[in-house]
Chains A and B, each alone.
Chain A
Amino acid sequence: MIRVVLPAHLRTLARVDGEVSIEVPAPVTQRSVLDSLERQYPVLCGTIRDHVTLERRPFLRFFACEEDLSLESPDTPLPEKVASGDEPFLIVGAIAGG
């Protein structure tokens, strides 16, 4: 199972608490994780990546294992510790303003 941490607003929208765990077919990439996440929680479609282009929304970032993966190709395999479920895949809202 892949662990995904959502921003608070998306947890509310998906009606989940804490991390979500999802089955993701190999290879475990940003694309396959997000495909599985949206399949399990259709309400999240369009909220993390654009409905049409499937590009990451501009004010969201992806992190895992203390690395910023936001600019990685969506088809690059995620770190082994994410694929094994040891570490979560983090979807983080960028801070704009203060």
Chain B
Amino acid sequence: MSTVRVLVGTRKGAFVLTADGKRDKWDVSGPFFAGWEIYHVKGSPVDPNRLYASQSSGWFGQVIQRSDDGGKSWEAPGGGITATPGEMPKGESNKFAYDTSSPDGSPLHTHQWYDGTQHPWEFKRVWHLEPSLHDPDTVYAGVEDAGLFRSTNGGQSWSELAGLRGHGTGPRWQPGAGGMCLHTIILDPQDPERIYVAISAAGAFRTDDGGKTWKPTNRGLFSQYIPDPRAEVGHCVHHMAMHPSRPGVLFMQKHWDVMRSDNAGDDWREVSGNLPTDFGFVVDVHAHEPETVYVVPIKSDSEHFPLEGKLRVYRSKSGGDEWEPLTKGLPQKDCYVNVLRDAMAVDSLDSCGVYFGTTGGQVFVSPDGGDNWSAIVQSLPAVLSMEVQTLP
């Protein structure tokens, strides 16, 4: 029988939750990296036992961790005790140094600060790790301040795909409330040269040449809180999702508005429909039904909790516009948690499992596509991210 492995990143460590295909009895292991913020943990699609984790701290900065046994043990790549001083890698798995030159050689080292002035790029942490679909040693990292890095040696060293920051709009990017972060990386399973990313608050971007050149893909987005609501960049995209069978169709949870694109991000249209509020962070797509989409509406940008204290997932089976609340097994009173942007995932079992974690430390699972929910755990530290691996 297949098993599922849920990789949970929290404010105070990582946890690994495992169950068989019934998904009713769970084994909880962790905390790994106790006391550190774990923004993201994700496994390689090529080698599911190869996991990457982003470990960070306001005191000690960024550490990249890697596991080759499905999360039982971890190692900072190239970070072990030196056998022969001077010969080992110099801890470069933790080094994310921005390329300070744009492709034409002119310097690019500032973005817009909160007050509108220009501010230098400063690395803070890795928000999202996206392992390659083809090579377990290749992994992408989306970082704050927004940039995209790639490692081709299992996380031992990183280099920036500087064409993203260098394509010209970088000086107009600005931080959202959570910082200026590149939080979403989507690799096109049918076109290895195509990558989508999303940045808060800059918007969505796409490359069609493996990361050398990029363009903003924000036409159709409307953000009332910026001077030009239809600007080319400056939109606070919270998350994006894609079904692997239809890589040209994208769903987006923007700051406000749930959006859809049917042409790889070239144009977007709003599909918020009958949602009670279209503010939120997560969005995801059913593993087998490309038109079935999930969001968790949050009251507003100033009140980051569910409406009326009722934790409700909303599901659309029509690719947006028409949404139904899913409540069975979820707290329907006095619930004032948030569900952060990377904290929802799906498994690929025949009966698709849907998972999400909350800032209250709950992790919920629905083994039947959202109809019924139960809590795997109730009291973890605040959940920052969640990924699910479906294992044979």
A interface residues with partner B (beta carbon < 8 Å): 7, 9-10, 12-15, 38-48, 50-52, 57, 59-60, 93-94, 96
Asked if A46 contacts B91 (CB within 8 A), the reply is: yes
Interface string of B40-62 (1 = CB under 8 A from A): 00000000000000000111111
Asked if B36 contacts A47 (CB within 8 A), the reply is: no
B227 within 8 A of A: no
Asked if A42 contacts B79 (CB within 8 A), the reply is: yes
Asked if A42 contacts B60 (CB within 8 A), the reply is: no
User: Cβ of B81: which chain A residues have Cβ within 8 Å of it?
Assistant: 14-15, 40-41
- Bound together, the chains give a CA A47 to CA B91 distance in angstroms of 10
Asked if A47 contacts B35 (CB within 8 A), the reply is: no
Asked if B80 contacts A60 (CB within 8 A), the reply is: no
- Bound together, the chains give a CA A59 to CA B78 distance in angstroms of 25
- Which of chain A's residues has its CB closest to B78's CB? A42
Name the contact of B79 in the complex, choosing from A43, A60, A94 (C-beta under 8 A).
A43
Task: List B residues 347-373 near A (Cβ within 8 Å).
Answer: none
A71 nearest CB across to chain B (Å): 18
Asked if A39 contacts B78 (CB within 8 A), the reply is: no
- Bound together, the chains give a CA A46 to CA B55 distance in angstroms of 13
List 5 additional contacts besides A40-B81, A57-B59; criterion CB under 8 Å: A39-B86, A41-B82, A42-B82, A43-B93, A45-B79
B92 within 8 A of A: yes
User: Cβ of B76: which chain A residues have Cβ within 8 Å of it?
Assistant: 13, 43
Name the contact of A44 in the complex, choosing from B89, B91, B96 (C-beta under 8 A).
B91
B interface, by DSSP: helix, strand, loop or mixed? loop
Summed over the interface, the residue pairs from A and B with CB atoms below 8 Å come to a total of 77
Asked if B59 contacts A45 (CB within 8 A), the reply is: no
Name the contact of A45 in the complex, choosing from B34, B57, B95 (C-beta under 8 A).
B95
- Bound together, the chains give a CA A96 to CA B152 distance in angstroms of 37
A91 nearest CB across to chain B (Å): 10
User: Cβ of A12: which chain B residues have Cβ within 8 Å of it?
Assistant: 34
B interface residues with partner A (beta carbon < 8 Å): 34-36, 57-63, 76, 78-82, 85-86, 88-97
- Which of chain B's residues has its CB closest to A8's CB? B35
Name the contact of B63 in the complex, choosing from A7, A38, A47 (C-beta under 8 A).
A47
A2 nearest CB across to chain B (Å): 14
A52 nearest CB across to chain B (Å): 5
User: Cβ of B96: which chain A residues have Cβ within 8 Å of it?
Assistant: 51
A23 nearest CB across to chain B (Å): 9
Asked if B80 contacts A96 (CB within 8 A), the reply is: no
- Which of chain B's residues has its CB closest to A46's CB? B94
Asked if B59 contacts A42 (CB within 8 A), the reply is: no
- Bound together, the chains give a CA A94 to CA B88 distance in angstroms of 30
Asked if B90 contacts A38 (CB within 8 A), the reply is: yes
Asked if A13 contacts B61 (CB within 8 A), the reply is: no
Asked if B92 contacts A60 (CB within 8 A), the reply is: no
Name the contact of B92 in the complex, choosing from A15, A45, A48 (C-beta under 8 A).
A45
Asked if A9 contacts B92 (CB within 8 A), the reply is: no
Name the contact of A38 in the complex, choosing from B58, B62, B91 (C-beta under 8 A).
B91
A85 nearest CB across to chain B (Å): 19
Asked if A51 contacts B94 (CB within 8 A), the reply is: yes
A9 touching B59 in the complex, CB below 8 Å, given contacts A43-B91, A46-B94 = yes
B226 nearest CB across to chain A (Å): 31
B10 nearest CB across to chain A (Å): 16
Q: Which of A13, A39, A44, A50 has the most CB of B within 10 A?
A: A13
Q: Which of A12, A47, A48, A50 has the most CB of B within 10 A?
A: A47
- Which of chain B's residues has its CB closest to A15's CB? B81
Interchain Cβ contacts under 8 Å between A and B, 17 examples? A9-B35, A39-B82, A39-B86, A41-B79, A41-B82, A42-B79, A42-B80, A42-B82, A42-B89, A43-B76, A45-B92, A46-B91, A47-B63, A47-B94, A50-B61, A57-B60, A93-B59
Name the contact of A9 in the complex, choosing from B36, B82, B93, B94 (C-beta under 8 A).
B36
- Which of chain B's residues has its CB closest to A16's CB? B81
- Bound together, the chains give a CA A93 to CA B59 distance in angstroms of 7
B58 nearest CB across to chain A (Å): 6
- Bound together, the chains give a CA A10 to CA B89 distance in angstroms of 19
A60 nearest CB across to chain B (Å): 6
- Which of chain A's residues has its CB closest to B79's CB? A43
- Bound together, the chains give a CA A44 to CA B36 distance in angstroms of 15
Asked if A9 contacts B91 (CB within 8 A), the reply is: no
- Bound together, the chains give a CA A14 to CA B181 distance in angstroms of 28
- Bound together, the chains give a CA A46 to CA B88 distance in angstroms of 16
Name the contact of A47 in the complex, choosing from B61, B78, B92 (C-beta under 8 A).
B61
- Which of chain B's residues has its CB closest to A48's CB? B60
A43 touching B80 in the complex, CB below 8 Å, given contacts A9-B36, A13-B63 = yes
